Amino acid sequence: MPSPDIAPRLSPELRAAIYHFSVFGTNGAISVYFGIWLVNRGIGPDEIGIINAAPVLLMLALNVFVGRIADRASDWRGVIIALSLIAGAVPVGLFFVSGFWGILLIWTLCIMPAFALVPIIDAATLRMTERRGTDFSTVRAWGTVGFMVASIAAGPILGWLGDAAFVPLFVALALGRALLAFQLPRFRTERAATAVVRAGATRLGQVVKPWFVLTLLGLGILYSTHGALGAFGALQWSRQGIPEGLIGPLIGTMAAAEAAMMFVWKRLNLKVSARNLIIFACLVAAARWTAMAFLPPIWVLFALQMLHSITFAVGYLGGIYFIANWTSEEIAAEAQGFSFVLQQGMSVVALIGFGWFYGAIGQWAWAVLGLYSAVGALLVLVSLRLRPPSPRPIGQDQRAVADPAP
């Protein structure tokens, strides 16, 4: 294993931020053109759906297992590097395939390790920043910046170089992500006097109870509604008559709002519990999606996109801290992986359901999505009734501070 001190002059937080930038930057670049690249190779809409869904469905079964392996390793860093190397090497196979089955196989093998490393790097970075007394949200914000920069830059680059540039660009970004994994710090060895060390469950079974799962299901619903926006938002705006030149800025506004919230998060010093933050995000999402059903003018759409700072960023951070507050470092990646599995599962439900409603009732499907978000808030509210946010025993000799102010 290479030395963890490749970049000794950079702080652990900066090194983690650089890696987050590369992870989400790669995702942002491929999200711009992958569908077009598939169409240009004669892949039909149904086959495109299968290619995108296959890695998600397989990760539903494997993600918790991968997280468990990462937690049992001496440090999360080694597993992140291994997954990054696999996710960096496999895309080379896209140079040698063209039909549906070949692309399906290579793409699935590309995306599975890339998906698997996300909850691990989130868990590792959160635990490291808490131990060092620094800010997780600022580090994670650079992931959003990476997504925004790459998605904006990829369009003109591919438009200039043409369709043939997609695979080389993807391979270059994936290999860059793999190389940047080697400069990550050792997450479990950095310690500071101001550290916050959370006690909590040492086995996932200790917290997989109705109150815990209900919160994660509510969080998963909230997450899944944003997937529906990603899949159908541009289509809705185009049908609504929004000029194509403004659709990109609408998407960029959403990402910028998310990053801005993460950068200022620590300064807000909010005195509310993690679950109340998730409830608030769900209710704002309900209003956001319902408003879209009324085909608002462009200036209102920009305002609605700015609400992404609440519906996604606040909900995401509330979920990250909720899981961390009730679990120990021994199952950090496994617990985040379990939440990620539920989020992906709910995304499949949301995409299929929204697609059906959108075909049946058109724009009013957004109101149904708003109702779905409200159901997410209700589930988290029930969780609070079952287990209020106060110190409670979790397992043998373990106590967690339940839902402290993030």
My answer on whether 257 and 378 are in the same domain is yes
What span, in angstroms and rounded, lies between the C-alpha atoms of 303 and 253? 9
My answer on whether 139 and 215 are in the same domain is no
6 inside domain: no
Q: Which ranges constitute the DSSP H helices of 133-204?
A: 136-161, 166-181
187 inside domain: no
97 inside domain: yes
My answer on whether 147 and 233 are in the same domain is no
pLDDT in tens, 75-116: 999 999 999 999 999 999 999 998 899 999 999 999 999 989
My answer on whether 117 and 65 are in the same domain is yes
pTM for the model stands at 0.83
Q: Read off the pLDDT band of 401 (50, 70, 90).
A: very low
Using a pLDDT cut of 70, give the percent of the chain over it.
91
Q: What is the pLDDT of residue 316?
A: 95
What span, in angstroms and rounded, lies between the C-alpha atoms of 361 and 287? 19
pLDDT in tens, 24-70: 999 888 876 787 788 888 887 678 778 877 887 888 778 888 998 99
Q: What is the residue range of 56's domain?
A: 12-181
Q: Is the pLDDT at 400 greater than 50, yes or no?
A: no
- Average pLDDT on 274-300 reads 96
Q: Is the pLDDT at 345 greater than 80, yes or no?
A: yes
What span, in angstroms and rounded, lies between the C-alpha atoms of 160 and 145? 23
Contact assessment for residue 77 and residue 185, using Cβ atoms and an 8 Å cutoff: yes
My answer on whether 95 and 174 are in the same domain is yes
Helix (H/G/I), strand (E/B), else coil: 313: helix
What span, in angstroms and rounded, lies between the C-alpha atoms of 225 and 372? 8
Q: Which ranges constitute the DSSP H helices of 241-314?
A: 244-268, 274-292, 298-306, 308
pLDDT in tens, 199-242: 678 888 888 899 999 999 999 999 999 988 877 887 788 889 88
Q: Taking the alpha carbons of 195, 200, 205, 210 in that order, is the dihedral positive or negative?
A: negative
192 inside domain: no
Q: What is the pLDDT of residue 2?
A: 44
pLDDT in tens, 290-316: 999 999 999 999 999 999 999 999 999
My answer on whether 172 and 211 are in the same domain is no
Q: What is the CATH number of the domain that holds 354?
A: 1.20.1250.20
My answer on whether 130 and 222 are in the same domain is no
5 inside domain: no
- Which class for 5: exposed (0-12), middle (13-18), buried (19 or more C-beta within 10 A)? exposed
Q: Which of 6-20, 28-42, 130-144 has the lowest mean pLDDT?
A: 28-42
pLDDT in tens, 246-269: 887 888 888 899 999 999 998 888
Distant-in-sequence, close-in-space partners of 300: CB < 8 Å, separation ≥ 6: 291
Q: Is the pLDDT at 325 greater than 60, yes or no?
A: yes
194 inside domain: no
My answer on whether 172 and 269 are in the same domain is no
